[in-house]
């Protein structure tokens, strides 16, 4: 059964890397719909997406080593990086949006932090590290990486903003 038309790979607009947290479904759906007005958008959504990049490529030497060995054979240990390789190498994407959010379960949620500013500062450091890992991996000077923060404003009302 066929559910849609075909889109040339070179027409893709951007890729979004984000957490799978279902609480963010409504705000992310609206954001992605708005972004798709400029062209198709790849959406990489896995639990703790930023953490996955940082844990496999930025922390312990043995994980970096294992990831490097696998990459030398054209394999990826990270679902996020495998999806990103498709987005960049096949779809020709040069615009990447990395998204982190408040109360991420991959980091034990907000309860792991003494106050909200500490949590946001931690996530900013993580997302910057993920961006640097991606830049080093692809070595493409045309890559634009945008950092996004999703904040809970009121009960079940999430808001996406530039990370600052």
In 3-state terms the chain splits into helix, strand, coil percentages (rounded to 5) of 50, 20, 30
Strand-pairing partners, residue 146, are 97
Angle at which helix 61-72 crosses helix 49-57, to 10 degrees, equals: 90
Alpha-carbon 139 to chain mean position: 18
Are 87 and 93 in contact by the 8 Å Cβ rule? The answer is yes
Residue 44 reports pLDDT greater than 90: yes
**Rounded CA gap, 87 and 81, in Å?**
10
Distance (Å, whole) CA 42 – CA 49: 14
* pLDDT per residue as tens digits for the range 80-126: 998 999 999 999 999 999 999 999 999 999 999 999 999 999 999 99
pTM of the model: 0.86
- For 52-84, how does the pLDDT look when each residue is reduced to its tens digit (9 = 90+)? 999 888 777 777 777 777 777 777 678 899 899
Is pLDDT larger for residue 47 or for residue 2?
47
Q: Which CATH number fits domain 9-162: 3.40.1050, 1.10.3470, 1.10.10, 3.40.50?
A: 3.40.1050
pLDDT at residue 5 above 70?
Answer: no
């Amino acid at each position: 059964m066929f559910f849609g038309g075909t889109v040339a790979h070179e027409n893709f607009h951007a890729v979004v890397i984000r957490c799978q947290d279902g609480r963010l479904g409504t705000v992310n759906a609206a954001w992605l719909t708005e972004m798709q007005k400029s062209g198709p958008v790849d959406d990489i959504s896995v639990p703790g997406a930023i953490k996955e990049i940082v844990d496999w490529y930025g922390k312990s030497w043995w994980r970096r080593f294992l990831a490097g060995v696998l990459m030398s054979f054209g394999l990826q240990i990270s679902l996020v990086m495998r999806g990103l390789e498709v987005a960049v190498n096949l779809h020709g994407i040069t615009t990447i949006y990395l998204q982190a959010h408040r109360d991420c379960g991959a980091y034990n949620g907000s309860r792991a932090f003494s106050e909200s500013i500490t949590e946001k500062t931690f996530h900013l450091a993580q997302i910057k590290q993920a961006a640097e890992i991606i830049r080093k991996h692809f070595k493409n000077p045309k890559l634009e990486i945008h950092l996004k923060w999703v904040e809970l404003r009121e009960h079940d009302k999430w808001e996406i903003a530039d990370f600052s």
